[in-house]
Structure 1
């Protein structure tokens, strides 16, 4: 597996990252172990999870599977979305981010997270508060590199400007949805990332399985993510996507 530098950092990650969103959900402990083993055998050293994936079970499984060789892989997790009923158990406030990071570390069984994504932009919290909270987590050794997911290009550029002005660790990576059906990132986000040296780590590369060759205008599998997951059904519900899948796969 080819290794590449993660943006401007000196960290080398596999060209392909392994997304662990299914761990603890569609993939039980046995299936997750098989998937993790196959990824490692293929040379993947970059694993992506989040605190909200299957109510934290994704992080727990990844932590157990990587126990004993945690320093051989690069682990990314995220925080923003609700992790409980409490009004403050969400968002990108200092209150939530510190608690979310510490909870993720407990589930992962790690002393630090290598890449910590702000899972989306928080319009309700001052960006300075968010970035200072992340900076404090970096300085305390709980985060090595900050990053962002689902940010618009201007939001990334704004965050980088604030970080540079205040002397904070910059966001080193951005994670947009990007595949042959969802190409909005090409308009502004990818050019911005290239110009500013921000790594791009995409998600949903197969459009929830739609671009695997299993789906089409006349092909509807009885099982799979597109069949069981309402989010993916909504995201790719346009019949034109099924027609496109026929032509692309």
Structure 2
């Protein structure tokens, strides 16, 4: 078994936290969220990632719940500006978005403030100027970017260096055993500029559990991440519901079972111990879950150590099956 000398940090993602009336908000009241906080603190996880968009369908309520429970008193908190639609990254929109987040979180300043997804209708120079102004005003410590192409990251760095703006120091992107195009297309750019990589969706939205497959009815997916009646569920189905990806997941499931493991566990341990992530560069894994039991299970998995050489070889072969159909790292 070959592992890493320096492991990535763990960050807890708060996308499933918020308005109790929303199906994606599994942690939605003090009664079920405070025990989560206690578990995270006991396991040494004191870094939370949220966004103005969380949970998808009830934006702003993740930040509001975190703020009402004063999570910033014990945790480092990162968030993201309003994004995902053309025109959301104008100077005016950014100037409006950041105070909403800070007010909801009951904080004067967050750790990382991300541009959640590219707004290609607004010039990057305008967006970066607005973020620089917010940084100079003390609203956040670091600038993060998420879901951009490597070429766009290069463009942004060039603008920031030319204009003297704060440069992005963290990139948050999709990365797992089925989404690896960033290894060649993105990671060299990040390493060149000293930008850390925070991996979200390390378990491929739970595809490896086998609960979602091409033969499963939509009714059976109700309430899950792949629930096609929700905006996020539709996105996950578009990304992952492909024959080659189901085949890859089935192969890993069979290989993992031969070693008395689940495919979900093998996939998470690959990201922690064998992927391109490196703690020496400050990289991190953003984990999430829909229940306290899942959080504990995922933390146990990530602490379990490297995989066998046999499973590593299988994961390499699985990527060869999946790569032509796999989602890309950017949006």
Task: Assess same fold via TM > 0.5.
Answer: yes
Q: CA deviation at 1:40?
A: 2.2
Query: C-alpha distance in 1, partners of 2:73/2:46?
Result: 10
Q: CA deviation at 1:141?
A: 0.6
Asked if 1:167 corresponds to 2:188, the answer is no
Residue from 231, 235, 245 that aligns with 1:231: 235
Structure 2's unaligned 5+ residue stretches are 1-5, 19-24, 253-262, 264-331
Q: Secondary structure at the match of 2:118?
A: coil
Task: Report what 1:81 is aligned to.
Answer: 83
Length, aligned pairs only = 231
Structure 1's unaligned 5+ residue stretches are 6-13
Task: Report what 1:21 is aligned to.
Answer: 15
**Superposition pairs of residues 1-249 of structure 1, within 5 angstroms:** 15-24=9-18, 25-29=25-29, 30-53=31-54, 54-65=58-69, 67=70, 70-81=72-83, 90-212=87-209, 214-215=211-212, 222=221, 223-227=223-227, 229-248=233-252, 249=263
Asked whether the 8 Å contact 1:48–1:76 carries over to 2, the reply is yes
Structure 1, residues 65-103: CA drift from partner, whole Å, max 9, x if none? 3x1x625422111124269xxxx9x52111001110010
Which entry has the higher C-alpha Rg, 1 or 2?
2
Query: C-alpha distance in 1, partners of 2:154/2:66?
Result: 32
Asked whether the 8 Å contact 2:50–2:80 carries over to 1, the reply is yes
Task: Report what 1:10 is aligned to.
Answer: none
User: Would you identify which runs of 4 or more consecutive aligned residues in structure 1 move more than 6 Å?
Assistant: 217-221
CA shift in 2, pair 1:34/1:239, >3 Å: farther
Task: Report what 1:9 is aligned to.
Answer: none
Query: C-alpha distance in 1, partners of 2:26/2:39?
Result: 17
Give the superposed CA RMSD: 2.5
Q: Secondary structure at the match of 2:67?
A: helix
Normalising by structure 1, we get a TM-score of 0.83
